[in-house]
Amino acid sequence: MTAERTPLYDEHVRLGAQMTTFSGWTMPLQYTSIRDEHRAVREAVGLFDLSHMGELRIMDDALAQRVVTRDLRKLRTGRIQYALLCNDRGGIIDDVLVYGMADGDYFLVVNAGNQDRDFEWIRAQALKPSSAGAAQDDPVFNEGRDWTLIGVQGPRAPALVQRLTGSDLSAVKYYAFIEGRVADVPCVISRTGYTGEDGFEVFCGNHDAVRLWRALLDAGKPDGVQPAGLGARDTLRLEAGMRLYGNDMDAGTNPLEAGLEWTLNLDKDFIGRDAIVRAREHGLERSLVGLKMLDRSIPRHGYPVSADAQPVGTVTSGNVSFTLGYNIAMAYVPPALSEPGTSVAVEVRGTAAPAEVVPLPFYKRPHPK
């Protein structure tokens, strides 16, 4: 199967990006270097094409409440929640952002590789008789290929986007969004991101994609704007302790193990709730922790974790931390070894490389002055 291309594909090629296939999409891996792009986002501003991400719409309150782990009654219009979709065994099907568009209108941003599967799964829940009322018009829409999504991330991102819009962005708080115009392009402007920095994720129609992308690159020149690829996106999100679906969690992971209890509203009913409650009563077998490497070894996905020469767990994500200057990982270990300060080792090509459990996230952005 050929990989899909975003509306910005030609822009990436023109900018000299090295392209890669990710979740069925041809995406920029890097333009100049992952290190430089990473630094640009931490110190100035980076521009990401995120159009591979999926967008789904659920026009049914009861259905949306049943499929996401958060209580949507607490989601006000114009606000966003990070939430999970779980199967009936309590395993994580996907992690998503839920946008409160209006009463009974929820816009979900889902992982690229899961979008079609999420869509079919939510539709299947809609068709079950337990969903409220008799059969109505299909309330679930797959809009994944209708939207271009551009991430503008970094300490200078707010000033950059503000210069291109008449909307007052200081009124748009973290995890809130507005509809407005950026560079005269109609957009949804969302104060969210996957980098650990301040910034926006801007949705527009595909026909406006190139115009918006170029306007942001052009207007961002004095800010030192740098287009950034999936390579930097991964090293940035790892420093910020953000889980990557498929790496750090999957359908065999329950949210408690993944350290995502805060995304659960167990006092409402949702698919997977009962299994999660039972898992909590049983006690967890493992939990996701941060590891700081004490030597220069690079931990990688799948490397074994040991303690006292006994295997105890597995690395799910690991790399250099360009910002912190040491190497970091997320790993599953037994709860007894999950306290910060605990000594463990990562098996790197047969050698036990010393590591220490540290709190997540590894990196928190400095408070704005």
Residue numbers at the binding site for other proteins (CB under 8 A): 18, 29-30, 33-35, 231, 235, 296-298, 300, 319-320, 349
Complex with other proteins: residue 268 or 300, whichever CB lies closer: 300
Min. distance of Cβ 303 from other proteins in angstroms? 10
Complex with other proteins: residue 32 or 87, whichever CB lies closer: 32
Complex with other proteins: residue 235 or 287, whichever CB lies closer: 235
Complex with other proteins: residue 200 or 303, whichever CB lies closer: 303
C-alpha to C-alpha distance for 193 and 154, rounded to whole angstroms: 10
Complex with other proteins: residue 29 or 96, whichever CB lies closer: 29
C-alpha to C-alpha distance for 41 and 55, rounded to whole angstroms: 25
Answer whether 114's CB lies under 8 Å from 298's CB: no
C-alpha to C-alpha distance for 324 and 362, rounded to whole angstroms: 8
Min. distance of Cβ 293 from other proteins in angstroms? 10
The residue written with tokens 């930097």 in the block is 232
Complex with other proteins: residue 23 or 254, whichever CB lies closer: 23
Strand partners, 22: 25
Answer whether 216's CB lies under 8 Å from 199's CB: no
Answer whether 332's CB lies under 8 Å from 307's CB: no
Tokens of 245: 């679906």
Which positions ≥6 away from 218 have C-beta within 8 Å? none
Write the burial class of residue 226 (CB in 10 Å: 0-12 exposed, 13-18 middle, 19+ buried).
buried
Complex with other proteins: residue 216 or 232, whichever CB lies closer: 232
Q: How far from 295 is each of 5, 33, 69, 102, 346, CA to CA, in Å?
A: 40, 24, 39, 51, 11
Min. distance of Cβ 105 from other proteins in angstroms? 40
Min. distance of Cβ 291 from other proteins in angstroms? 16
Min. distance of Cβ 9 from other proteins in angstroms? 19
Min. distance of Cβ 192 from other proteins in angstroms? 24
Which positions ≥6 away from 14 have C-beta within 8 Å? none
Min. distance of Cβ 83 from other proteins in angstroms? 30
3-class SS at 113? helix
Answer whether 153's CB lies under 8 Å from 199's CB: yes
Tokens of 103: 């009463």
Complex with other proteins: residue 35 or 163, whichever CB lies closer: 35
Write the burial class of residue 80 (CB in 10 Å: 0-12 exposed, 13-18 middle, 19+ buried).
buried
Min. distance of Cβ 231 from other proteins in angstroms? 6
